[in-house]
Structure 1
């Protein structure tokens, strides 16, 4: 999951002709930390996801849409290895997206 999001973020960054260092400076993290997000090594926090989306001029759902595009068959390949980790990742992402939605909804009300 982290790798999918990282690849999607990298694609948006490259399309905008930004360097990793420029994005890292704009969101307030080190270039190394940002590179680990793009490489799928570090999990991306909701706060970082919101900042990255803002800097790149896209929505959070534009970035996370890649998770909806992965085939469900991937999780039913017959191998149980890491399947519980994938389920927890999906649940965590659901709650992160719900939290983003709630925050954006409250901004519209204010």
Structure 2
């Protein structure tokens, strides 16, 4: 069950959930993905920016599969991107945009 952990000044709601490893992968469609370049349950951080063109959701995960996750919903892209930037600036690591690499791997798997 998600637990409410706060409301941002913009009105976005932050929730914390325990992530089941079966659903821990990045969601499909309209998704951008970043990783802080660190491995392990204590150091790894992942961020997803997901959109259906009406709602923008920022997901952040600590600790890889099965880690703790937060989610923020926005009605505009600029606010969502500002939270992604803030999350990267306040978390250690060398952040990498994995969006294109994930897209290419997905396309490769579909053609083989």
Q: TM-score, normalised by structure 2?
A: 0.29
Greater share of helix residues, 1 or 2? 1
Q: TM-score, normalised by structure 1?
A: 0.29
Structure with greater contact order relative to length (CA < 8 Å, sep ≥ 6): 1
Greater share of strand residues, 1 or 2? 2
